[in-house]
Amino acid sequence: MTEQFKEQGGAATMDPSAAFRWLSSQIMSSVISPQRQIKQRQKAEKHRHANGGRHVVEYFHQVEDGYSHLAAQALGAFAERYDIELRCHLVAGPSGNNAVEPELLVKLSQYDASFIAPHYGLEAPGAHALPDREAIEFAESILAAPSLQAQAGADFAALAIAVGAALWGGDRAILDRLAEQHGRASGQQTLDCLALGNARRAELKHYSGAMFYYAGEWYWGVDRLHYLEKRLADLGADLCPEAPLLMPRFEVEAGKHRDNGSLTLEIYPSLRSPYTAVVFDQTLKLAETTGVNLLVRPVLPMVMRGVPATREKGMYIFTDAAREARSAGVPFGNFYDPIGQPARNCYSLYPWACEQDRGNQLISSFLNAAFVQGINTNNSRGLKSVVENAGLDWSVAKTLVGQPDWQDMLESNRLAMYQAGLWGVPSFRLLNKAGESVLALWGQDRLWLVAREIERQLALNSDS
Protein backbone atom coordinates (compact mmCIF):
# COMPACT_ATOMS: atom_id res chain seq x y z
CA MET A 1 0.00 0.00 0.00
CA THR A 2 1.13 3.56 -0.68
CA GLU A 3 1.72 6.07 2.10
CA GLN A 4 -1.21 8.11 0.79
CA PHE A 5 -3.50 5.11 1.16
CA LYS A 6 -2.22 4.33 4.66
CA GLU A 7 -3.10 7.81 5.91
CA GLN A 8 -6.31 8.03 7.85
CA GLY A 9 -7.08 11.49 6.50
CA GLY A 10 -8.93 14.39 7.97
CA ALA A 11 -9.98 17.86 6.87
CA ALA A 12 -7.11 19.51 8.73
CA THR A 13 -4.36 17.32 7.25
CA MET A 14 -5.58 16.86 3.67
CA ASP A 15 -3.25 17.40 0.73
CA PRO A 16 -4.65 19.69 -2.02
CA SER A 17 -6.13 16.87 -4.11
CA ALA A 18 -7.78 15.31 -1.05
CA ALA A 19 -9.10 18.72 -0.01
CA PHE A 20 -10.61 19.21 -3.47
CA ARG A 21 -12.24 15.77 -3.32
CA TRP A 22 -13.74 16.59 0.07
CA LEU A 23 -14.95 20.05 -0.95
CA SER A 24 -16.47 18.95 -4.26
CA SER A 25 -18.21 16.05 -2.50
CA GLN A 26 -19.67 18.38 0.11
CA ILE A 27 -20.92 20.74 -2.59
CA MET A 28 -22.53 17.96 -4.62
CA SER A 29 -24.20 16.47 -1.55
CA SER A 30 -25.70 19.89 -0.85
CA VAL A 31 -26.77 20.44 -4.47
CA ILE A 32 -28.74 17.18 -4.66
CA SER A 33 -30.36 17.47 -1.23
CA PRO A 34 -34.18 17.49 -1.13
CA GLN A 35 -34.06 20.55 1.15
CA ARG A 36 -32.30 22.54 -1.55
CA GLN A 37 -34.81 21.39 -4.15
CA ILE A 38 -37.69 22.58 -1.97
CA LYS A 39 -36.09 26.00 -1.49
CA GLN A 40 -35.33 26.38 -5.19
CA ARG A 41 -38.91 25.49 -6.13
CA GLN A 42 -40.34 27.92 -3.60
CA LYS A 43 -38.10 30.65 -4.96
CA ALA A 44 -39.15 29.93 -8.55
CA GLU A 45 -42.84 29.95 -7.65
CA LYS A 46 -42.48 33.20 -5.71
CA HIS A 47 -40.82 34.78 -8.73
CA ARG A 48 -43.59 33.54 -11.05
CA HIS A 49 -46.31 34.99 -8.84
CA ALA A 50 -44.49 38.29 -8.50
CA ASN A 51 -44.36 38.63 -12.28
CA GLY A 52 -47.89 37.36 -12.89
CA GLY A 53 -46.59 34.72 -15.26
CA ARG A 54 -47.99 31.39 -16.37
CA HIS A 55 -46.35 28.03 -15.88
CA VAL A 56 -43.94 27.99 -18.82
CA VAL A 57 -42.65 24.59 -19.93
CA GLU A 58 -39.95 24.48 -22.60
CA TYR A 59 -39.37 21.42 -24.76
CA PHE A 60 -36.26 20.71 -26.86
CA HIS A 61 -36.78 18.48 -29.91
CA GLN A 62 -34.07 16.62 -31.84
CA VAL A 63 -35.49 15.09 -35.01
CA GLU A 64 -33.13 12.09 -35.31
CA ASP A 65 -33.54 11.13 -31.66
CA GLY A 66 -35.89 8.23 -30.92
CA TYR A 67 -36.65 9.61 -27.48
CA SER A 68 -37.72 12.93 -29.00
CA HIS A 69 -40.08 11.02 -31.28
CA LEU A 70 -41.80 9.55 -28.22
CA ALA A 71 -41.79 12.86 -26.33
CA ALA A 72 -43.42 14.68 -29.25
CA GLN A 73 -46.34 12.25 -29.08
CA ALA A 74 -46.95 13.22 -25.46
CA LEU A 75 -46.84 16.99 -26.02
CA GLY A 76 -50.40 17.52 -27.21
CA ALA A 77 -52.08 15.70 -24.34
CA PHE A 78 -49.62 17.26 -21.91
CA ALA A 79 -50.44 20.82 -23.07
CA GLU A 80 -54.18 20.09 -22.82
CA ARG A 81 -53.99 18.46 -19.40
CA TYR A 82 -51.96 21.14 -17.63
CA ASP A 83 -52.42 24.90 -17.38
CA ILE A 84 -49.11 25.72 -19.04
CA GLU A 85 -47.57 27.71 -21.83
CA LEU A 86 -45.62 25.25 -23.97
CA ARG A 87 -42.61 26.57 -25.87
CA CYS A 88 -40.92 24.22 -28.31
CA HIS A 89 -37.35 24.50 -29.57
CA LEU A 90 -35.64 22.66 -32.40
CA VAL A 91 -32.14 21.53 -31.40
CA ALA A 92 -29.22 19.46 -32.61
CA GLY A 93 -27.87 16.51 -30.67
CA PRO A 94 -25.18 16.72 -27.98
CA SER A 95 -21.85 18.12 -29.14
CA GLY A 96 -18.29 18.47 -27.91
CA ASN A 97 -17.52 16.72 -24.63
CA ASN A 98 -21.24 16.07 -24.11
CA ALA A 99 -21.32 13.85 -27.21
CA VAL A 100 -20.12 10.43 -26.08
CA GLU A 101 -20.55 7.90 -28.91
CA PRO A 102 -23.11 10.03 -30.86
CA GLU A 103 -23.69 7.41 -33.57
CA LEU A 104 -24.27 4.69 -31.00
CA LEU A 105 -26.63 7.00 -29.13
CA VAL A 106 -28.91 7.54 -32.15
CA LYS A 107 -28.98 3.81 -32.80
CA LEU A 108 -29.71 3.05 -29.15
CA SER A 109 -32.46 5.68 -29.05
CA GLN A 110 -34.26 3.87 -31.87
CA TYR A 111 -33.78 0.43 -30.30
CA ASP A 112 -34.61 1.49 -26.75
CA ALA A 113 -37.56 3.71 -27.68
CA SER A 114 -39.03 0.83 -29.68
CA PHE A 115 -39.02 -1.32 -26.54
CA ILE A 116 -40.58 1.22 -24.20
CA ALA A 117 -43.12 2.82 -26.60
CA PRO A 118 -45.85 0.15 -26.24
CA HIS A 119 -45.79 0.46 -22.47
CA TYR A 120 -46.61 4.17 -22.77
CA GLY A 121 -49.18 3.66 -25.54
CA LEU A 122 -46.95 5.41 -28.10
CA GLU A 123 -45.78 4.63 -31.62
CA ALA A 124 -42.20 3.38 -31.81
CA PRO A 125 -39.66 4.93 -34.19
CA GLY A 126 -39.79 1.75 -36.24
CA ALA A 127 -37.23 -0.77 -37.41
CA HIS A 128 -36.23 1.06 -40.60
CA ALA A 129 -32.60 1.97 -41.17
CA LEU A 130 -31.35 5.01 -39.27
CA PRO A 131 -32.09 8.34 -41.01
CA ASP A 132 -29.28 9.68 -43.16
CA ARG A 133 -27.96 13.23 -42.85
CA GLU A 134 -29.82 14.53 -45.91
CA ALA A 135 -33.16 13.24 -44.61
CA ILE A 136 -32.46 14.67 -41.15
CA GLU A 137 -31.72 18.10 -42.59
CA PHE A 138 -34.88 17.97 -44.71
CA ALA A 139 -36.96 17.09 -41.64
CA GLU A 140 -35.32 19.90 -39.66
CA SER A 141 -36.15 22.39 -42.42
CA ILE A 142 -39.86 21.54 -42.15
CA LEU A 143 -39.92 22.06 -38.39
CA ALA A 144 -37.87 25.25 -38.79
CA ALA A 145 -40.34 26.83 -41.22
CA PRO A 146 -40.92 30.49 -40.23
CA SER A 147 -44.69 30.04 -40.23
CA LEU A 148 -44.44 27.17 -37.74
CA GLN A 149 -42.14 29.04 -35.39
CA ALA A 150 -44.81 31.70 -34.92
CA GLN A 151 -47.45 29.14 -33.92
CA ALA A 152 -48.26 27.52 -30.60
CA GLY A 153 -46.31 24.64 -29.13
CA ALA A 154 -49.18 22.23 -29.80
CA ASP A 155 -48.91 22.97 -33.54
CA PHE A 156 -45.18 22.22 -33.44
CA ALA A 157 -45.90 18.99 -31.60
CA ALA A 158 -48.46 17.78 -34.14
CA LEU A 159 -46.12 18.38 -37.05
CA ALA A 160 -43.13 16.92 -35.17
CA ILE A 161 -45.05 13.65 -34.81
CA ALA A 162 -45.82 13.48 -38.54
CA VAL A 163 -42.29 14.47 -39.53
CA GLY A 164 -40.82 11.96 -37.09
CA ALA A 165 -42.99 9.11 -38.35
CA ALA A 166 -41.96 9.80 -41.95
CA LEU A 167 -38.29 10.24 -41.06
CA TRP A 168 -38.05 7.05 -39.00
CA GLY A 169 -40.13 5.18 -41.57
CA GLY A 170 -37.81 6.23 -44.38
CA ASP A 171 -40.79 7.69 -46.30
CA ARG A 172 -39.46 10.62 -48.32
CA ALA A 173 -42.77 11.00 -50.18
CA ILE A 174 -44.55 11.90 -46.94
CA LEU A 175 -41.78 14.32 -45.99
CA ASP A 176 -42.18 16.01 -49.39
CA ARG A 177 -45.94 16.25 -48.86
CA LEU A 178 -45.47 17.76 -45.38
CA ALA A 179 -43.04 20.29 -46.84
CA GLU A 180 -45.61 21.29 -49.45
CA GLN A 181 -48.34 21.66 -46.84
CA HIS A 182 -46.38 23.48 -44.14
CA GLY A 183 -43.46 25.03 -45.97
CA ARG A 184 -39.73 24.70 -45.40
CA ALA A 185 -37.02 26.91 -44.05
CA SER A 186 -34.00 27.65 -46.19
CA GLY A 187 -30.70 26.07 -45.27
CA GLN A 188 -29.57 29.19 -43.43
CA GLN A 189 -32.94 29.66 -41.73
CA THR A 190 -32.77 26.07 -40.49
CA LEU A 191 -29.28 26.60 -39.13
CA ASP A 192 -30.41 29.82 -37.44
CA CYS A 193 -33.41 28.05 -35.88
CA LEU A 194 -31.20 25.25 -34.56
CA ALA A 195 -28.69 27.78 -33.25
CA LEU A 196 -31.44 29.57 -31.31
CA GLY A 197 -32.65 26.31 -29.79
CA ASN A 198 -29.13 25.21 -28.94
CA ALA A 199 -28.36 28.59 -27.38
CA ARG A 200 -31.49 28.52 -25.24
CA ARG A 201 -30.69 25.00 -24.07
CA ALA A 202 -27.11 26.00 -23.24
CA GLU A 203 -28.36 29.09 -21.39
CA LEU A 204 -30.47 26.77 -19.23
CA LYS A 205 -27.44 24.49 -18.78
CA HIS A 206 -28.30 21.35 -20.72
CA TYR A 207 -27.01 19.53 -23.78
CA SER A 208 -29.46 16.87 -24.98
CA GLY A 209 -32.65 16.42 -26.98
CA ALA A 210 -36.05 15.18 -25.76
CA MET A 211 -35.72 17.43 -22.70
CA PHE A 212 -38.40 19.33 -20.80
CA TYR A 213 -37.48 22.35 -18.68
CA TYR A 214 -39.59 23.98 -16.03
CA ALA A 215 -38.53 26.57 -13.45
CA GLY A 216 -34.98 25.45 -12.82
CA GLU A 217 -35.31 21.69 -13.36
CA TRP A 218 -34.85 19.33 -16.30
CA TYR A 219 -36.93 16.27 -17.20
CA TRP A 220 -35.78 13.74 -19.81
CA GLY A 221 -38.37 12.47 -22.27
CA VAL A 222 -41.41 10.42 -21.37
CA ASP A 223 -39.35 8.60 -18.73
CA ARG A 224 -39.19 11.64 -16.46
CA LEU A 225 -42.40 13.40 -17.44
CA HIS A 226 -44.22 11.97 -14.43
CA TYR A 227 -42.02 14.12 -12.19
CA LEU A 228 -43.06 17.25 -14.03
CA GLU A 229 -46.70 16.15 -14.01
CA LYS A 230 -46.64 15.72 -10.23
CA ARG A 231 -44.87 19.05 -9.75
CA LEU A 232 -47.45 20.89 -11.84
CA ALA A 233 -50.25 19.09 -10.00
CA ASP A 234 -48.81 20.22 -6.67
CA LEU A 235 -48.94 23.80 -7.99
CA GLY A 236 -52.62 23.46 -8.91
CA ALA A 237 -51.97 23.38 -12.66
CA ASP A 238 -53.52 19.96 -13.31
CA LEU A 239 -56.86 20.51 -15.08
CA CYS A 240 -57.88 16.86 -14.52
CA PRO A 241 -56.49 16.04 -11.07
CA GLU A 242 -58.55 12.85 -10.72
CA ALA A 243 -57.16 11.31 -13.91
CA PRO A 244 -54.07 9.07 -13.91
CA LEU A 245 -50.76 10.52 -15.01
CA LEU A 246 -50.21 10.69 -18.75
CA MET A 247 -46.76 9.11 -18.52
CA PRO A 248 -46.58 7.06 -15.30
CA ARG A 249 -43.54 5.74 -13.51
CA PHE A 250 -43.08 1.98 -13.91
CA GLU A 251 -41.99 0.05 -10.85
CA VAL A 252 -39.54 -2.85 -10.86
CA GLU A 253 -41.81 -5.84 -10.29
CA ALA A 254 -41.02 -9.53 -10.57
CA GLY A 255 -43.69 -11.67 -12.20
CA LYS A 256 -45.26 -14.90 -11.01
CA HIS A 257 -42.88 -17.23 -12.85
CA ARG A 258 -39.54 -18.38 -11.46
CA ASP A 259 -36.61 -19.39 -13.61
CA ASN A 260 -34.87 -22.75 -13.56
CA GLY A 261 -31.61 -21.53 -15.05
CA SER A 262 -32.80 -20.72 -18.57
CA LEU A 263 -31.99 -16.98 -18.42
CA THR A 264 -28.89 -15.01 -17.50
CA LEU A 265 -29.00 -11.35 -16.52
CA GLU A 266 -25.79 -9.38 -17.00
CA ILE A 267 -25.27 -6.04 -15.30
CA TYR A 268 -22.37 -3.73 -16.14
CA PRO A 269 -21.81 -1.46 -13.10
CA SER A 270 -19.08 1.01 -12.20
CA LEU A 271 -18.00 2.18 -8.77
CA ARG A 272 -18.42 5.90 -9.46
CA SER A 273 -21.81 5.82 -11.17
CA PRO A 274 -24.68 7.39 -9.19
CA TYR A 275 -27.17 5.51 -11.34
CA THR A 276 -25.40 2.25 -10.52
CA ALA A 277 -25.63 3.15 -6.84
CA VAL A 278 -29.38 3.61 -7.20
CA VAL A 279 -30.08 0.30 -8.93
CA PHE A 280 -27.37 -2.22 -8.00
CA ASP A 281 -29.07 -3.71 -4.95
CA GLN A 282 -32.41 -3.70 -6.77
CA THR A 283 -30.80 -5.77 -9.52
CA LEU A 284 -29.48 -8.30 -7.02
CA LYS A 285 -32.95 -8.56 -5.49
CA LEU A 286 -34.64 -9.00 -8.89
CA ALA A 287 -32.26 -11.80 -9.83
CA GLU A 288 -32.81 -13.55 -6.51
CA THR A 289 -36.59 -13.21 -6.74
CA THR A 290 -36.90 -14.41 -10.33
CA GLY A 291 -34.21 -17.10 -10.09
CA VAL A 292 -32.31 -15.97 -13.19
CA ASN A 293 -28.56 -16.41 -13.28
CA LEU A 294 -26.85 -13.13 -12.43
CA LEU A 295 -23.53 -12.17 -13.98
CA VAL A 296 -21.98 -8.96 -12.63
CA ARG A 297 -19.43 -7.47 -15.05
CA PRO A 298 -17.89 -4.30 -13.56
CA VAL A 299 -16.23 -1.71 -15.80
CA LEU A 300 -14.14 1.38 -15.18
CA PRO A 301 -16.04 4.66 -14.75
CA MET A 302 -16.21 6.66 -17.99
CA VAL A 303 -14.01 9.45 -16.64
CA MET A 304 -11.35 6.92 -15.72
CA ARG A 305 -11.56 5.58 -19.29
CA GLY A 306 -10.62 9.01 -20.59
CA VAL A 307 -14.17 10.11 -21.46
CA PRO A 308 -14.55 13.80 -20.54
CA ALA A 309 -17.45 14.96 -18.38
CA THR A 310 -18.82 18.49 -18.57
CA ARG A 311 -20.15 20.35 -15.58
CA GLU A 312 -23.71 20.56 -16.93
CA LYS A 313 -23.76 16.84 -17.66
CA GLY A 314 -22.43 15.96 -14.24
CA MET A 315 -24.93 18.23 -12.52
CA TYR A 316 -27.87 16.76 -14.39
CA ILE A 317 -26.78 13.16 -13.80
CA PHE A 318 -26.34 13.60 -10.06
CA THR A 319 -29.55 15.59 -9.52
CA ASP A 320 -31.53 13.16 -11.67
CA ALA A 321 -30.06 10.14 -9.88
CA ALA A 322 -31.00 11.67 -6.53
CA ARG A 323 -34.54 12.23 -7.77
CA GLU A 324 -34.74 8.66 -9.05
CA ALA A 325 -33.47 7.31 -5.74
CA ARG A 326 -36.05 9.25 -3.74
CA SER A 327 -38.82 8.02 -6.01
CA ALA A 328 -37.68 4.41 -5.65
CA GLY A 329 -37.22 4.70 -1.89
CA VAL A 330 -33.50 4.01 -2.19
CA PRO A 331 -31.05 5.68 0.25
CA PHE A 332 -28.83 8.15 -1.59
CA GLY A 333 -27.21 11.55 -1.40
CA ASN A 334 -24.43 11.70 1.19
CA PHE A 335 -21.66 11.65 -1.40
CA TYR A 336 -17.90 11.25 -1.11
CA ASP A 337 -16.36 11.04 -4.57
CA PRO A 338 -14.54 7.71 -5.13
CA ILE A 339 -13.08 8.68 -8.51
CA GLY A 340 -9.55 7.53 -9.24
CA GLN A 341 -7.54 5.67 -6.63
CA PRO A 342 -10.43 4.72 -4.30
CA ALA A 343 -12.20 2.95 -7.16
CA ARG A 344 -8.96 1.29 -8.30
CA ASN A 345 -8.28 0.02 -4.79
CA CYS A 346 -11.70 -1.57 -4.60
CA TYR A 347 -11.45 -3.05 -8.07
CA SER A 348 -8.12 -4.60 -7.08
CA LEU A 349 -9.93 -6.47 -4.29
CA TYR A 350 -12.79 -7.63 -6.49
CA PRO A 351 -11.22 -10.85 -7.87
CA TRP A 352 -10.36 -11.94 -4.33
CA ALA A 353 -13.85 -11.03 -3.11
CA CYS A 354 -15.34 -13.15 -5.89
CA GLU A 355 -13.20 -16.07 -4.75
CA GLN A 356 -14.85 -15.67 -1.34
CA ASP A 357 -18.27 -15.47 -3.07
CA ARG A 358 -18.58 -11.87 -1.81
CA GLY A 359 -17.96 -9.91 -5.02
CA ASN A 360 -21.48 -8.49 -5.21
CA GLN A 361 -21.35 -7.57 -1.53
CA LEU A 362 -18.08 -5.69 -2.07
CA ILE A 363 -19.54 -3.60 -4.90
CA SER A 364 -22.72 -2.95 -2.92
CA SER A 365 -20.76 -1.95 0.18
CA PHE A 366 -18.49 0.41 -1.78
CA LEU A 367 -21.42 2.13 -3.52
CA ASN A 368 -23.18 2.50 -0.19
CA ALA A 369 -20.10 4.07 1.36
CA ALA A 370 -19.59 6.52 -1.51
CA PHE A 371 -23.21 7.51 -2.24
CA VAL A 372 -25.15 6.93 0.99
CA GLN A 373 -22.82 7.16 3.98
CA GLY A 374 -20.40 9.76 2.62
CA ILE A 375 -17.36 7.71 3.64
CA ASN A 376 -13.94 8.72 2.34
CA THR A 377 -12.77 5.54 0.65
CA ASN A 378 -9.40 7.10 -0.21
CA ASN A 379 -7.83 6.00 3.07
CA SER A 380 -7.42 2.74 4.95
CA ARG A 381 -10.15 3.53 7.46
CA GLY A 382 -12.73 4.07 4.73
CA LEU A 383 -11.77 1.03 2.67
CA LYS A 384 -11.64 -1.11 5.79
CA SER A 385 -15.26 -0.25 6.55
CA VAL A 386 -16.20 -1.15 2.95
CA VAL A 387 -14.43 -4.51 3.18
CA GLU A 388 -15.81 -5.44 6.58
CA ASN A 389 -19.36 -4.36 5.68
CA ALA A 390 -19.08 -6.74 2.73
CA GLY A 391 -18.36 -9.58 5.15
CA LEU A 392 -14.67 -9.83 4.20
CA ASP A 393 -11.49 -10.00 6.27
CA TRP A 394 -9.61 -6.69 6.33
CA SER A 395 -6.42 -8.29 7.61
CA VAL A 396 -6.24 -10.20 4.32
CA ALA A 397 -7.67 -7.46 2.11
CA LYS A 398 -5.11 -4.85 3.11
CA THR A 399 -2.32 -7.06 1.82
CA LEU A 400 -4.04 -7.34 -1.59
CA VAL A 401 -4.89 -3.69 -2.26
CA GLY A 402 -3.25 -2.51 -5.46
CA GLN A 403 -2.72 -5.88 -7.07
CA PRO A 404 -3.02 -5.48 -10.88
CA ASP A 405 -4.88 -8.65 -11.85
CA TRP A 406 -8.23 -6.86 -12.28
CA GLN A 407 -7.56 -4.61 -15.29
CA ASP A 408 -7.88 -7.28 -17.97
CA MET A 409 -11.20 -8.44 -16.55
CA LEU A 410 -12.68 -4.94 -16.55
CA GLU A 411 -11.42 -4.27 -20.06
CA SER A 412 -12.96 -7.53 -21.28
CA ASN A 413 -16.24 -6.45 -19.70
CA ARG A 414 -16.05 -3.06 -21.41
CA LEU A 415 -15.50 -4.67 -24.80
CA ALA A 416 -18.46 -7.01 -24.28
CA MET A 417 -20.61 -4.04 -23.32
CA TYR A 418 -19.63 -2.19 -26.50
CA GLN A 419 -20.27 -5.26 -28.63
CA ALA A 420 -23.82 -5.23 -27.26
CA GLY A 421 -24.25 -1.64 -28.51
CA LEU A 422 -23.90 -0.18 -25.01
CA TRP A 423 -21.26 2.06 -23.48
CA GLY A 424 -22.65 3.64 -20.32
CA VAL A 425 -23.47 2.26 -16.91
CA PRO A 426 -25.36 0.60 -15.56
CA SER A 427 -26.18 -1.48 -18.62
CA PHE A 428 -28.15 -4.71 -18.73
CA ARG A 429 -28.18 -7.68 -21.05
CA LEU A 430 -30.62 -10.57 -20.82
CA LEU A 431 -29.45 -13.85 -22.38
CA ASN A 432 -31.44 -16.95 -23.18
CA LYS A 433 -30.35 -20.52 -22.50
CA ALA A 434 -28.30 -20.58 -25.71
CA GLY A 435 -26.42 -17.48 -24.60
CA GLU A 436 -28.17 -15.28 -27.17
CA SER A 437 -29.08 -11.72 -26.26
CA VAL A 438 -32.83 -11.09 -26.07
CA LEU A 439 -32.51 -7.61 -24.56
CA ALA A 440 -29.66 -5.12 -24.17
CA LEU A 441 -30.46 -1.81 -22.48
CA TRP A 442 -28.64 1.06 -20.83
CA GLY A 443 -29.75 2.80 -17.67
CA GLN A 444 -31.05 2.14 -14.19
CA ASP A 445 -34.44 3.33 -15.42
CA ARG A 446 -34.68 0.22 -17.60
CA LEU A 447 -34.71 -2.35 -14.81
CA TRP A 448 -38.52 -2.34 -14.85
CA LEU A 449 -38.38 -3.33 -18.52
CA VAL A 450 -35.81 -6.03 -17.79
CA ALA A 451 -38.15 -7.41 -15.13
CA ARG A 452 -41.06 -7.48 -17.57
CA GLU A 453 -38.98 -9.18 -20.24
CA ILE A 454 -37.84 -11.81 -17.75
CA GLU A 455 -41.46 -12.58 -16.95
CA ARG A 456 -42.40 -12.64 -20.64
CA GLN A 457 -39.58 -15.06 -21.46
CA LEU A 458 -40.42 -17.32 -18.53
CA ALA A 459 -44.11 -17.32 -19.50
CA LEU A 460 -43.16 -18.32 -23.04
CA ASN A 461 -40.93 -21.11 -21.74
CA SER A 462 -43.66 -22.44 -19.47
CA ASP A 463 -46.13 -22.58 -22.37
CA SER A 464 -43.74 -24.40 -24.71
Which residue, 188, 219, 234, sits at the end of a domain?
Answer: 234
Mark whether 360 and 269 lie in a shared domain: yes
Which residue, 234, 251, 276, sits at the end of a domain?
Answer: 234
The answer to whether residue 251 is domain-embedded is no
**Mean pLDDT (whole number) for 368-373:** 98
Mark whether 270 and 365 lie in a shared domain: yes
CATH code of residue 93: 3.40.30.10
pLDDT digits (tens, 9 = 90+) for 403-459: 998 999 999 999 999 999 999 999 999 999 999 999 999 999 999 999 999 999 999
The pLDDT of residue 130 is above 80: yes
Q: What's the rounded Cα separation, in Å, for the pair 37 and 138?
A: 41
The pLDDT of residue 12 is above 70: no
**pLDDT value for 128:** 75
pLDDT digits (tens, 9 = 90+) for 273-290: 999 999 999 999 999 999
The answer to whether residue 22 is domain-embedded is no
Would you say 80 and 243 are in contact if contact means Cβ atoms under 8 Å apart? Answer: no
Distance of CA 345 to the CA centre of its chain: 26
Q: What's the rounded Cα separation, in Å, for the pair 391 and 369?
A: 14
Mark whether 105 and 204 lie in a shared domain: yes
Which residue, 234, 250, 284, sits at the end of a domain?
Answer: 234
Higher-confidence position of 74 and 103: 74
Model confidence band, residue 152 (pLDDT cutoffs 50, 70, 90) = low
Mark whether 284 and 218 lie in a shared domain: no
Provide the pairing of β-strand 427-431 with 264-268: antiparallel
Q: What's the rounded Cα separation, in Å, for the pair 125 and 69?
A: 7
**pLDDT value for 149:** 64
Mark whether 212 and 306 lie in a shared domain: no
Percent of the chain beyond pLDDT 90?
A: 86
Mark whether 224 and 278 lie in a shared domain: no
**Mean pLDDT (whole number) for 180-204:** 96
Q: In the predicted model, what is the mean pLDDT of the chain?
A: 93
Mark whether 344 and 270 lie in a shared domain: yes
Task: Give the pTM.
Answer: 0.94
The answer to whether residue 46 is domain-embedded is no
pLDDT digits (tens, 9 = 90+) for 42-95: 999 999 999 888 999 999 999 999 999 999 999 999 999 999 999 999 999 999
**pLDDT value for 464:** 62
**Mean pLDDT (whole number) for 291-303:** 96
Mark whether 314 and 170 lie in a shared domain: no
Mark whether 291 and 429 lie in a shared domain: yes
Domain count, the chain: 2
pLDDT digits (tens, 9 = 90+) for 384-405: 999 999 999 999 999 999 999 8
The answer to whether residue 10 is domain-embedded is no
pLDDT digits (tens, 9 = 90+) for 215-237: 999 999 999 999 999 999 999 99
The answer to whether residue 325 is domain-embedded is yes
SS3 249: coil
State which residues form the domain around 436: 264-463
**Mean pLDDT (whole number) for 326-336:** 96
